[in-house]
Chain A
Amino acid sequence: MSKVTYVESNGKQHQFDLPLGATLMEGAVQNGVKGIVAECGGSCMCATCHCYIDDAFLHLLPEMEEEEAEMLEGAKAPRLLNSRLGCQVRVSKKLNGIIVRIPEHQ
């Protein structure tokens, strides 16, 4: 298990212990966090699980593949340096305590 905090665009916070290997998208959607849409169910197809990762954890994330980068270009909310698609980041031990902010639009 790893602790993950989601912050909705209105500031509302949710903290969950997620099983290792679950994606940030699954953790949000299955627990009913608002703002992660995940239209395609985690296939890196729709750019509707866009989230902003707390800077302190950025260097611990798996590297971004080209397709994810391209999808992020098309995301509705602005793409920032800490933008990732939630379906492409799996929870690991070293991500314990990660804070994930959810944009207003997907």
Chain B
Amino acid sequence: MTKRVVIIGTGHGGIQVAISLREAGFEGTITLISDEADLPYQKPPLSKGFLNGKQTIENLRFRNPSFYTENNIQLVLNQLVIHIDLQHKAVLTRSNQVFHYDNLVFATGARNRDLMAEGVDWEKTRYLRNLEDAQKLQSALVEARKVTIIGGGFIGLEIAAAAVELDKQVTVLEAQPRLMNRVLPPMLSDVFLQKHLEQGVDVRLNAQVSKICRNGKRQINAVQLMDNQLIETDLLVVGIGVLPNDELAKSIGLACNNGIEVNEFLQTTDETVYAIGDCARYWNAFAGQKMRVESVQNAVDQAKCVAKNIMGERLAYHAVPWFWTNQYDLKLQMAGINLDFDHFVVRGDVSTRKFSIFYYKNHKFIGADSLNRPADHLAARRLLQAGISPTFEQVANIAFKL
């Protein structure tokens, strides 16, 4: 009998499972289900080139519409999955469609964490996660003059950079004492802080939002901080992290704990059901702990691994994590996971904003952040994949080819 694969979610992970299966000669049926109406598209440009008009929706599509028909991939758009019957291996959508599977893949991603503050239900509050959000944000940016962004992480700062490029007056509010605090060391947070300040962004650190004040009559709106400062604003953008979309999995009894739990083969507690990407929690050997990884790389590489396993291999997931962010002319590429490093070596010149930081734990190389040094980034990924630790001296010597 032909094997049937159903994939929930058409982000980077979901689509990649379908593509990899067909590339490997999979002859069964493939059904991709999404609650969004748009043809599958890439997400990273939504907070970058898409906002300032450098890229349009046509640039973002993974594949042309004909690709799906030519490759016999059934695309079910605008359909919410409301239930899964694990016993009968069937997926049910809100409009009562039933899809039977032999293998099911959760690629349900994550959603934005809501800001809890009085007045946040203002009609000028925006979040950014999907294409629809990006389109709404883009048109709101056209009208706004003063833009306030809550959250000094990747998303918030990328939006800040795009808004500056659109000549907006931008304020960034970050609750922590430094930018991108969760993933970057102070040295890099500082470089980005300086850059945003140079570009005219009003960056407030240790800023706790108290409420959003609206004055409909006089058309003056403001964000009020805990210390009672008021920041006048026409548009509010919230980027304070995400939560995994694991409720559906939880509701059918699959083990979840801040994400859908999977083993090294990316199987959930039902071995015919896989989970990948932002929604999946797995043992990450590079971090030495169970975690979810929110990145394109993770979604794509896990998808490739799952496609192989569906094809009958028994492959454990073990790809080097990497991430990136673009803000103005700063390109930061991160390889590995540098949690609890005990030593670091700088390669290149910090003052020219062209340098890498190589992180070590017990003399073992565990990750590198490269600022405008793409060759270092690619070398770091190769070294991590091979498990090789360059010496401190080799890293510090830029004449030495890693």
On A, residues with C-beta under 8 Å from B are 19, 22-23, 26, 29-32, 34, 39-45, 47, 67, 70-71, 73-74
Contacts and interface: CB of A to CB of B under 8 A. Distances in A.
30 contacts: A22-B58, A29-B62, A30-B61, A30-B63, A31-B63, A31-B64, A32-B71, A39-B297, A41-B42, A41-B44, A41-B45, A41-B296, A42-B42, A42-B55, A42-B59, A43-B44, A43-B48, A43-B324, A43-B326, A44-B331, A45-B324, A45-B331, A67-B331, A70-B375, A71-B374, A71-B378, A73-B375, A73-B378, A74-B374, A74-B375
Contacts of A73: 375, 378
Interface string B324-354: 1010000101000000000000000000000
B13 to A, nearest CB: 13
Nearest to B297: A39
B21 to A, nearest CB: 14
Interface string B375-390: 1011100000000000
A40 B324 contact: yes
Kindly list the 10 A-B residue pairs having the minimum CB-CB distance in the complex, ordered from nearest.
A74-B378, A41-B42, A70-B375, A70-B374, A30-B64, A71-B374, A32-B67, A45-B324, A73-B375, A74-B375
B240 interface: no
Given A41-B44, A42-B55, 19 more contacts: A19-B58, A29-B63, A30-B61, A30-B67, A31-B64, A31-B67, A32-B70, A32-B71, A39-B296, A39-B297, A41-B296, A42-B59, A44-B331, A44-B374, A45-B324, A67-B374, A71-B375, A74-B378, A74-B379
Nearest to A41: B42
A23 B42 CA distance: 15
Interface in B366-402: 372-375, 377-379
A67 B372 contact: yes
B300 interface: yes
Contacts of B63: 29-32
Contacts of A22: 58-59
A40 B48 CA distance: 13
A63 B48 CA distance: 23
Contacts of A19: 58
B23 interface: yes
B336 to A, nearest CB: 15
A40 to B, nearest CB: 7
A23 B62 CA distance: 13
A31 B61 CA distance: 10
B44 A70 contact: no
Contacts of A23: 59
Interface in B281-298: 296-297
A104 B366 CA distance: 30
Contacts of B374: 44-45, 47, 67, 70-71, 74
A34 B261 CA distance: 33
Contacts of A45: 324, 331, 333, 374
Contact of B44 (A32, A40, A74): A40
B349 to A, nearest CB: 15
A71 B370 CA distance: 12
A70 B67 CA distance: 33
Contacts of B64: 30-32
Chain A CB count within 10 A is highest, among B297, B331, B375, for B375
Contacts of B378: 47, 71, 73-74
Nearest to B56: A21
Contacts of B71: 32
A35 to B, nearest CB: 11
Nearest to A37: B300
Interface string B40-77: 00101100100000010011111110010011000000
A49 to B, nearest CB: 13
Given A30-B67, A70-B373, A42 B45 contact: yes
A39 B300 contact: yes
